[in-house]
Amino acid sequence: MVGIDRRLLQNVDWPLLGATVCLVALSATTLATLSVGRAGTGIALRQIAWFGLGLIALLVVASIDYRRLVRIAPMLYLVGLIVLLTLFVFGRTVSGARRWLLVGPISVQPSELFKLCFVLMVVWLLSTRWAQPVGKAVLVVAAPLALVPAVLIVKQPDLGTALLLFPVLIVLLIAAGMRLRILGGLVLMGLAAAPLAWIALKDYQRDRILVFLDPLRDPLGRAYNVIQAKIAIGSGQLLGKGVAGATQSRLAFLPERHTDFIFAVFAETWGFVGCLVLLTCYALLLLRGFDIAASTREPVGRLVALGVTALVSTQVLVNVGMVTGLIPVVGIPLPFMSYGGSSMVVSMMALGLLLSVRMRQFQ
Amino acid sequence: MNLGYLGGPMPGRPDPGRRRVLAFAVIVSVALLTIVCQLWYLQVLEGGRFQEASDKNRIRVRPIAAPRGILFDRNGLPLVDNRPAFTLSLIPRELDRDPVQRDVTLGRLASLLQIPFADLQDAVAKVSPDSILPVRVRRGLSMDDVAKVEEWKLELPGVIVEVEPQRAYPNSRFAAHLLGYVREASDEQLKGGRYRRGDMVGQTGLERLLDEFLRGKDGGERIEVDAMGRQIRLVQSTEPHPGAQVITTVDRRVQEVAEKAMEGKAGAIVVMDPRNGDVLAMVSTPSFQIDRFTGTIDRNAWLRVMQDPNHPLLNRTIQSMYPPGSVFKLVVAAAGLQEGTLTPSDRVSCQGEFQLGTRTFRDWKKEGHGSVDLMKGIRDSCDVYFYNAGLKVGAPSMAKWALAFGLGTATGLDFGSEKPGLIPQPKMSRKGKPVSWHAGETVNMSIGQGQVLVTPIQVARMMAAIANGGVLWKPRLVQRIERPEKGVVWGDAGSVTGHVDLSPVVFAFLRQSLWAVVNDGGTGVAARIPGLDIAGKTGTAQTVANSKSEKGQDHAWFAAFAPVKDPEVVVVVLVERGGHGGSAAAPIARQIFNTIFLEKVAFAAFGG
């Protein structure tokens, strides 16, 4: 498919990979301390297996020239949309949401994979000659690119993933040179449309927002997650309770503790100091991503690197922000930490794209 | 973090896109710092509070109620026991902080078990919301109720079902006055600060007297639970300390027989050992259902007992005062013989009535007793003989010896409110003559009527003194109190409160006369048991009040001891409005003697 010359290997970003390995190691140890359902400690091993698979995906993606991927982006995007549509027919329902598609023995979450297709698609649009200079016309075309899949994903329902698409789009538009004034107008329009969105939201989604505004509304119901997560994090204090003492997690007071709320488990176990270590890893990873985007003079590569970094950044910030009670609860996994095959493989593929840009920035 | 331009400078070509990328990096960094600040706030500044919340989440305190001490009879038989019962309790600390949520929980509980919602709210309002001590809301839950609460456990945070030992009695009315009932501490008792809300406290009888010994020390467990409320492990456990065991002087067998003998009658029985003052039985009827008073009694049942015209809560052995009737003649005889105002050979001719000035005093026997000496006067309870004797002895002397026998003074049983009784004492002028006292009063007093009032336990103490040669024992109900690990913590060897200083000859004469009452054709013949020398005195006390009793207006007394040589047992029976002592009270005493001396009597009956 591609020839990998020595020059490419020399430019592999080892700090980026190092931070990732650290995060996966922390994830595995945290999962190992949780005995979730029948899976038991096997869940940690499975996470490592997913990481292995993700590593292969990373190598494959990194070895392909990202420009070729951008070239076929419209096709990838279309296929992605079709898969999202078929979910409504063949989707596997877990706890009321049709997010999964059975592929052989494993269930895949197509919306995860679609996020990368979306990034490539937006980059493709912005790098066409038609789009220069990036202005209102581009916005008119780009907005439906995000809206259509967002509606499909919201209907699964998976509000978190759907909302992810918009920050990524905005970041890419800005980076491509769109004037901030135009985007400012867009944001104002969005605010004006907020009441309409409120009507469109499902009851439980509205509840989540209300509960964020007033956690005591329903302490045993909707706000339970938020309260228990705060208790878990807070009770970790400076140095944490250790594996044996992390009662919030071990005694199952914390919901979804191996997936969306894994940060709370980690915070309870290792305390503020542990959190600093974890967040340093993420900072290293994300700033490295921005560094790649900044140091690449090739415009397509820069947009790909920035789009991917924006995607991962948003996920990290939204997840940790919601678990620590800074923003309302939206179901988004914490990249590399939360248990889940799709999330792990897609995050690794995102890194693959970053590496791909990095390795080719001096060509 | 080095964000420098690593790709090598390309001078002269501005790169606006790069500046925008760096701006995003700054935004993300600021967001990460915000998260660090939030973590600092949650984990370091507020960490202690959340640690507490986390402990509250997982640690549940489960009290283990200590069983109350058990009361035993003198032979080691239990007078009262414990059985496990279910109690519904609220743990304030585990209830929801939010008043609205808390009321939702209480409302759910109220509708589940049909408890008034206000009761639950009151119970919670009276204690600190931080308390980990259970507030006992309802005792004696049925298995159905327990199942309901367990089923709804997750929706009822802070609500638990405790297993609490509760009093169990041999039968519903057994020794009700003697033992007393146990109930939750009243508001007044709580004010003293010795009890917690929901504590079971002895309210009457021995349960009240010995409450501090009988009550144990509750233990408790701290358990760790998971989010489903399932127990994960025991964090800490404190064993409950059961209350002390009380060995009383009561003989359960005698108590049961005495109670049975009094069934359907109002009155009192005291059975006492004249050698040491031990109370073998103490019966007051009508009684109340002691088991229904335990725990939470509904208000209507309580009012019904309180307003019962027969006063079932009254302990008639110590709290009711009666005229002693002819039993008092023993005092007159003793006083006269000791002071020389009477001799055994003094004779009176009884024609059935006695004239004092214009007043006529009748004998209980219309046709009279004929020629009567002192012993016959006692044996046949001749009123006319004692009208004369009383005038000879005089009211001050009668009062003096009545007091010497312990009549008119409380026996000091420390038991509820013991009534002292009354012995009228004429005031003396300087010349030694009674002031504002009529001779008629002396006449009335000489047969135990008029103002003379005594309690059954006083009569028992007096009979014991006649039996044992003059020793006034303080009635003893408790021999000793033992704790399992410490042995005897309290003991009572018995105490003598006074001596009746009569000549032994006088005692011998009284005992001889009392023997004749039962065994020589006297008024107490109904108490006679062949083979057992019983000595006793009947009494028929006239009452002023009207009664619809078929048997009449009179209280029937029989006070006795046996055997005459070396007396072991004193039995005093009082039947309110029972009629004649000889016919109403003496047969009851006979049943009791029969029970106590069963073997001896059987032995004699078979010619041994």
Three-class HEC string of chain A? CCCCCHHHHHCCCHHHHHHHHHHHHHHHHHHHHCCECCCECHHHHHHHHHHHHHHHHHHHHHHCCHHHHHHCHHHHHHHHHHHHHHHHHHCEEECCEEEEEEECCEEECHHHHHHHHHHHHHHHHHHCHHHCCCCHHHHHHHHHHHHHHHHHHHCCCCHHHHHHHHHHHHHHHHHCCCCHHHHHHHHHHHHHHHHHHHHHCCHHHHHHHHHHHCHHHCCCCCCHHHHHHHHHHHHHCCCCCHHHHCHHHHCCCCCCCCCCCHHHHHHHHHHHHHHHHHHHHHHHHHHHHHHHHHHCCCHHHHHHHHHHHHHHHHHHHHHHHHHCCCCCCCCCCCCCCCCCHHHHHHHHHHHHHHHHHHHHCCC
Q: With 80 as the cut, is the pLDDT of residue B262 above it?
A: yes
Res B121: pLDDT: 87
Closest approach of B9 to chain A, Cα-based (Å) = 10
Q: Please determine, for residue A132, whether its predicted confidence score (pLDDT) is greater than 60.
A: yes
Identify which of B20, B28, B46 has the shortest CB distance to residue A174: B20
| Of residues A103, A109, A168, the one with CA closest to residue A346 | A109
CB contact under 8 A, B24 and A306: yes
- Give the pLDDT band of residue B272 (cuts 50, 70, 90): very high
Which residues in chain B have their CB less than 8 angstroms from residue A267's CB?
39, 43
Task: Please provide the average confidence, as pLDDT, over all residues in chain B.
Answer: 86
Q: Of A114, A88, A118, which is closest to residue A101 (Cα–Cα)?
A: A88
pLDDT tens by residue, A205-217: 777 677 666 555 5
DSSP string, A3-61: ---HHHHHT--HHHHHHHHHHHHHHHHHHHH--BTTTBTHHHHHHHHHHHHHHHHHHHH
Q: How far apart are CA A33 and CA A46, in angstroms?
A: 14
How would residue B96 be classed by pLDDT, with cut points 50, 70 and 90?
confident
B9 has a pLDDT exceeding 70: no
Report the residue of chain B nearest A289, measured CA to CA: B25
Residue B154 touches partner A, C-beta closer than 8 Å: no
The pLDDT assigned to A21 comes to 94
pLDDT for position A159: 80
Give phi and psi for B527, each to the nearest 5: -95, -5
**With an 8 Å Cβ cutoff, is B373 touching chain A?**
no
Residues of A in Cβ contact (< 8 Å) with B57: 228, 231, 247-248, 251, 253
Domain boundaries, chain A: 8-360
Mean pLDDT (whole number) for B378-390: 94
Which of B423, B454, B485 is where one domain is finished?
Answer: B454
CB B459 within 8 Å of CB B188: no
Residue type, A294: A
ipTM of the complex: 0.89
Q: Considering CB atoms only, which of A248, A296, A361 is closest to B54?
A: A248
Residues from chain B that touch A235, judged by Cβ atoms under 8 A, are 47, 50-51, 53-54
pLDDT at residue A198 in the model = 75
Q: Domain range for residue B367?
A: 325-454
Contact yes or no for B42 and A220 at CB 8 A: no
List pLDDT tens digits, range B165-183.
888 888 878 899 999 888 8
Over residues B475-517, the pLDDT tens digits come to 999 999 999 888 888 888 889 999 999 999 999 999 999 999 9
pLDDT mean over B368-390: 94
Give the pLDDT confidence score for residue A58 in this predicted structure: 93
Please give the single-letter amino acid code of residue B250.
V
**Mutating which of B20, B44, B60, B100 best tests the A interface, going by the most A Cβ atoms within 10 A?**
B20
For chain B, say whether A313 makes contact (Cβ under 8 Å): yes
Question: Does residue B276 sit within a domain?
Answer: no
**A1 has a pLDDT exceeding 60:** no
Q: What is the pLDDT of residue A20?
A: 93
CATH number for the domain spanning B391: value is 3.40.710.10
DSSP state of B526: G
pLDDT range class, residue A125, cuts 50, 70, 90: very high
Interface test with A, best of B37, B39, B41 (most A CBs within 10 A): B39
For residues B158 and B62, is the Cβ–Cβ distance under 8 A?
Answer: no
A123 has pLDDT over 60: yes
Mutate to test the interface with A, among B2, B21, B56 (most CBs of A within 10 A): B21
Interface subset of B 69-108, CB within 8 angstroms of A: 96, 98, 101
- B14 CB neighbours in chain A (<8 A) are none
Q: Per-residue pLDDT averaged across A276-299, rounded?
A: 92
Q: Is residue B545 part of a domain?
A: no
What's the order of all strands across the beta sheet hosting B159-168? Answer: B135-139, B81-90, B159-168
* Per-range mean pLDDT, top range of A160-164, B54-58, B60-64: A160-164
Q: CA torsion, points B232, B237, B241, B242, in degrees to nearest 10? A: 10
Identify any residues that bridge with B574 across adjacent strands, giving them in sequence order. Answer: B268, B557
State yes or no: pLDDT of A245 exceeds 80. no
What's the pLDDT score for residue B7?
A: 34
Number of domains in chain B: 2
pLDDT digits (tens, 9 = 90+) for A41-50: 688 888 899 9
| Cα separation values, B199 from A197, B131, B184, B185, Å | 58, 15, 5, 6
Q: Do B58 and A251 touch (CB under 8 A)?
A: yes
Count contacts between A and B (CB, < 8 Å): 152
Its pTM surpasses 0.80: no
Instruction: State whether residue B231 sits within 8 Å of chain A by CB.
Output: no
* Cis preceding linkage at B563, omega within 30: yes
In a mutational test of the B interface, the residue from A180, A231, A263, A277 whose CB has the highest number of chain B CBs within 10 Å is A231
pLDDT value, residue B592: 95
- DSSP state for residue B43 in the 8-state scheme: I
- Is residue A229 a contact partner of residue A219, using CB atoms and an 8 Å limit? no
**A267 inside 8 A of chain B by CB:** yes
